Structure 1
Amino acid sequence: MSGISKEYDLFVIGAGMAGTTAANRCAAKGWHVGIVDALPYGGTCALRGCDPKKILRRGAEVIDAAHLMQGKGISENDLTLDWATLMRHKRGFTDGVPQGMEDELHRNGVSTFHGAAHFTGPHHLKINGVQHQAKRFLIATGARPRPLDFPGHEHLIDSTDFLNLEELPGRIVFIGGGFVSFEFAHIAARAGVDCVIIDHGTRPLRAFDPDLIDLLVQRTEQAGIRVNHSTTVSAVARTPTGLQVSVEQDGVTTVIDTDLVVHGAGRVPNIDGLNLAAANIAWGPRGIDVFGHLQSRSNPSVFAAGDAADTPGERLTPVAVFEGKVAASNMLKGTMTVPDYAGVPTTVFTIPELNRVGMLEHEAGRDGREIVVRYNDTSSWYSNYRIGETTAATKVIIDTATDQILGAHLFGPGYSEVINIFGLAIKLGLTTRQLKSITATYPSVGSDLGSML
């Protein structure tokens, strides 16, 4: 098919949360907007990441909760995780997302396209042989698994494949010490899978508080998951009975027999194939090179948001959403507003979960700032005793001069909700005195907030 379409005010590449947010906002203001994606509409979070992952995690949570209450009134003898049925439950959510999102775009007047897109000039994009012209473009193509180059890398599956497994094998090796490996291993282990995590570094999840990471690793191993630190994968080979993973640690090579190997070793911006050079769009390892207000440094007609953009923000869905909003506003109004990244929390949804917002302890102590660190072992607190959890802790970092929160780090069940309050405090500049003045519903996990300070 060949030809050229009429000109758009905005053409969005990528139908995830950043792209659809911007497309809907600009279309609502009367702009002629087009959007394209080679994959089903919805993006990684709704279809291949956050949402389906947490549905599967719920099954694992129930198993773990019963285990913690063993001998405390609950018998787990007949309790099992039915993976196939749990997957059907997951698909009950994910299957309707693409059409629902496309229907919303249509209602807002957005023209939708499916297929791989690439630039043919500063204002031209080709999709399935048809060239489209636009005054502006927003690149919001997200991220993809980082390429691996060791022999046998083709035998690995990625996070998308894992979330679509119809059945779980008996043994899984997860490569990488990040979110994917830890979250998925915690799910699979509660389904009875023998799990191994191979981490290249000395400590996994390096963006989080080291003291709480140590507790997470301890809890991970208690769940039956082996964590190999300072270990490098040298090869993966197929055998008649499964796969063999060759690893090196301290100069010694060993072999791990397994049934499945999952790629959890990081992600990179998904911008290959866009032919960015044809549109004079500069990029680097972290994505499209943009100013703080999300406009391309080399082509003023182009903006970028989400994981495809080189911004200070964390690679998180909520960040992609508000970057999409800011990009849309800047394009509509001709402004140069910079997104506010303060107080954005992030969570590793292991069981229990690990959370962070704001600065790490060593970051907060820079520049001569006077700080106080409030550390609490909360494993014996009522909210954890009630459910039988024996591993939990919090660390809150406070600026003594202002009494404001600089960082909060929480490891424990339900703390992914509490971290949001700390995020709000950082964003609004609330003091610990103000936080302590809150009267919380009791006995909720949130009522522990004052004691954490």
Structure 2
Amino acid sequence: MAEAFDFIAIGSGTAAQVAVHRMADAGKRCAVIDYRPYGGTCALRGCDPKKMMVSGEEALAAFRRMNGKGIRGSASINWGGLQAFKRSFTDPVPGKQEARYDRKGIATFHGAARFTGPDRLAVEDQELQFSHALIATGAIPRPLGITGEELLTHSDAFLNLDTLPERIVFVGGGYIAAEFAHLAARAGSKVTIVQRGRILKAFDPDIVDWLMPSFGQLGIEIVDAEVTSLRAAGETLEVEAGNRVIETDLAVHAAGRGPALGKLDLEAGNVASDDERLLLTAQLRSQSNDKVFAAGDAAAKGPPLTPVSSHDAKVVVENILDNGDRTPNYDGVPSALFTEPPAARVGMLESEAREAGLEFNVNAGSHPEWFSARRLNAQIYGHKLLIQVGTGRILGAHLVGPDADELINVFGLAIRHGLTADDIKATMFAYPTAASDAGYMV
């Protein structure tokens, strides 16, 4: 006989955690299922461990910028030590997660979940019944359809390398490629990024242009080509791209991710999908099964970011508990690129604002002479702000340079809550800080 639950979360990342704890707090009998260690991508295989390792890169970059400016000596990255530092955070996560579930009486199941009916799931040979279920399975690398694709590793494995190879090729030129290329190059690897067209297409072209010298300074080669095949040659990999064959020790998939739905048997659950994406209502409910919701990367409705996963989960819980009609609000969600220096964006790209027919002014410039850059001896510091004519509202903000990943939150707050350029100018920020530059940027 199937064990019955009010709510089951499939996955144990941010969306699942937020939703299942809120449902348990509301007195519902809940369960969580994951075939991987509990914690999800962000805590175990993504943003948190990545930022732990980037901390070592930031320290080295700061040392090199200030060497000869009152700082002397030598420094380098110890990859093994950096991994140990990262694992001091990630290793306890699964146990802590399970302990939290246990304290709240949330049942935990380890294994791959699959639908066996519109209100039933199976984990191994155990069947569970649910009143509502949440698909929060995250994302996986998209298939590339190239010969030798199985020779590619991916970001999860890269972040867990015990030793760093001498040569690394990143296939694709988005966030993962840029961030890991900077980290690996500073740690001593010879890095190549292969991407057709320009890299970092999600970011403003001017911001990317200002950031590009950082790649050259690290010796990162960017090849404008499409990877057509990979093959093993002894212990070496050969990556064929355009008219070149690039020899490497490791090739990393960095060409995009999609919802991780393959293990679920959606058809058995009457959960409709199309082109490997769930068909959802605006309220994140399955269009074909009103007992099933999705959130985060599995839903693929908002930007693929951790705060979006959390927000989606809150929307889902509210709609279940109150039989509500709430829809997610993705206005003003900032996105940061953790290269060194970092870049960040929120709101519209200039091209998007023009396509929307909006009238706006552009405040932009590269300012390595500003104090925020000068005090760190940083050579890269720039901004682009899109300010709507008439209303003064900020349509988009794009930054690169020291503390861009923090300063972007000021503009995210402005966009989400309708603050104007005049509101920012009238705000007294602590000085001298990165935030105090916001008034000059608008």
TM range (shorter): over 0.9
Aligned to 2:346: 357
Deviations 1:309-360 (A, max 9, x none): 141x101111001101110111111001011111100011111111110011
1:133 shift after superposition: 0.7
Q: Distance in 2 between matches of 1:302 and 1:156?
A: 34
Q: Distance in 2 between matches of 1:197 and 1:31?
A: 48
232-241 or 41-50: bigger deviation: 232-241
Q: Distance in 2 between matches of 1:363 and 1:148?
A: 28
Deviations 1:386-423 (A, max 9, x none): 11111121000001110110100001110111100100
Which aligned segments of 4 or more residues in structure 1 are displaced greater than 4 angstroms? none
Identity of aligned residues (%): 45
Is residue 175 of structure 1 aligned with residue 167 of structure 2?
no
Aligned match of 2:309 in 320, 323, 338?
320
83-92 or 239-248: bigger deviation: 239-248
SS class of match (1:278) = coil
Deviations 1:239-286 (A, max 9, x none): 2352221110xxxx1111111111111111000020100111111336
Q: Distance in 1 between matches of 2:432 and 2:218?
A: 28
**Structure 1 pair 222/362, CA: closer, same or farther in 2 (3 Å)?**
same
Is residue 141 of structure 1 aligned with residue 110 of structure 2?
no
Aligned to 1:332: 321
Q: Distance in 2 between matches of 1:302 and 1:15?
A: 16
Aligned to 1:191: 187
Q: Distance in 1 between matches of 2:6 and 2:48?
A: 32
The alignment covers a number of residue pairs equal to: 442
SS class of match (1:9) = strand
CA contact (8 A) 1:20 1:105 kept: no
Aligned to 1:378: 367
Aligned to 1:58: 55
CA contact (8 A) 1:63 1:79 kept: yes
Q: Letter of the aligned partner of 1:432 in structure 2?
A: A
SS class of match (1:173) = strand
CA contact (8 A) 1:118 1:127 kept: yes
Aligned to 1:267: 257
Q: Distance in 2 between matches of 1:315 and 1:183?
A: 16
**Structure 1 pair 19/334, CA: closer, same or farther in 2 (3 Å)?**
same
Aligned match of 1:239 in 229, 233, 236?
233
Deviations 1:104-147 (A, max 9, x none): 12222211110001011101111111111111111110001112
Q: Letter of the aligned partner of 1:54 in structure 2?
A: K
Q: Distance in 2 between matches of 1:234 and 1:366?
A: 33
Q: Distance in 2 between matches of 1:108 and 1:214?
A: 50
Q: Distance in 2 between matches of 1:240 and 1:154?
A: 16
Q: Distance in 1 between matches of 2:324 and 2:384?
A: 39
Q: Letter of the aligned partner of 1:285 in structure 2?
A: D
CA contact (8 A) 1:221 1:227 kept: no
**Structure 1 pair 328/62, CA: closer, same or farther in 2 (3 Å)?**
same
Q: Distance in 2 between matches of 1:387 and 1:151?
A: 46
Q: Distance in 2 between matches of 1:16 and 1:86?
A: 24
**Structure 1 pair 310/82, CA: closer, same or farther in 2 (3 Å)?**
closer
Is residue 424 of structure 1 aligned with residue 419 of structure 2?
no
Aligned to 1:213: 208
Q: Letter of the aligned partner of 1:108 in structure 2?
A: K
Q: Letter of the aligned partner of 1:150 in structure 2?
A: I
CA contact (8 A) 1:197 1:225 kept: yes
CA contact (8 A) 2:348 2:395 kept: yes
1:376 shift after superposition: 2.0
1:70 shift after superposition: 2.9
Aligned match of 2:125 in 97, 116, 129?
129
Q: Distance in 1 between matches of 2:203 and 2:75?
A: 33
Aligned match of 2:381 in 392, 395, 416?
392
Q: Distance in 1 between matches of 2:240 and 2:82?
A: 32
CA contact (8 A) 1:144 1:270 kept: yes
The unaligned stretches of length 5 or more in structure 2 are none
SS class of match (1:36) = strand
CA contact (8 A) 2:3 2:127 kept: no
The unaligned stretches of length 5 or more in structure 1 are none
Q: Distance in 1 between matches of 2:235 and 2:110?
A: 40
Q: Distance in 1 between matches of 2:281 and 2:149?
A: 36
Q: Letter of the aligned partner of 2:28 in structure 1?
A: W
**Structure 1 pair 316/194, CA: closer, same or farther in 2 (3 Å)?**
same
Deviations 1:174-218 (A, max 9, x none): 110111111101101111111000012x11121210111122223
1:377 shift after superposition: 1.2
Q: Letter of the aligned partner of 2:122 in structure 1?
A: K
Q: Distance in 2 between matches of 1:86 and 1:219?
A: 22
Aligned match of 1:79 in 56, 75, 82?
75
Q: Letter of the aligned partner of 2:335 in structure 1?
A: T
1:170 shift after superposition: 1.0
CA contact (8 A) 1:289 1:310 kept: no
CA contact (8 A) 1:286 1:310 kept: no
Aligned match of 2:6 in 3, 9, 13?
9
SS class of match (1:365) = helix
1:49 shift after superposition: 0.4
For 1:240-259, list aligned pairs within 5 A. Answer: 240-248=234-242, 253-259=243-249
Is residue 281 of structure 1 aligned with residue 278 of structure 2?
no
Aligned match of 2:103 in 107, 110, 119?
107
**Structure 1 pair 402/390, CA: closer, same or farther in 2 (3 Å)?**
same
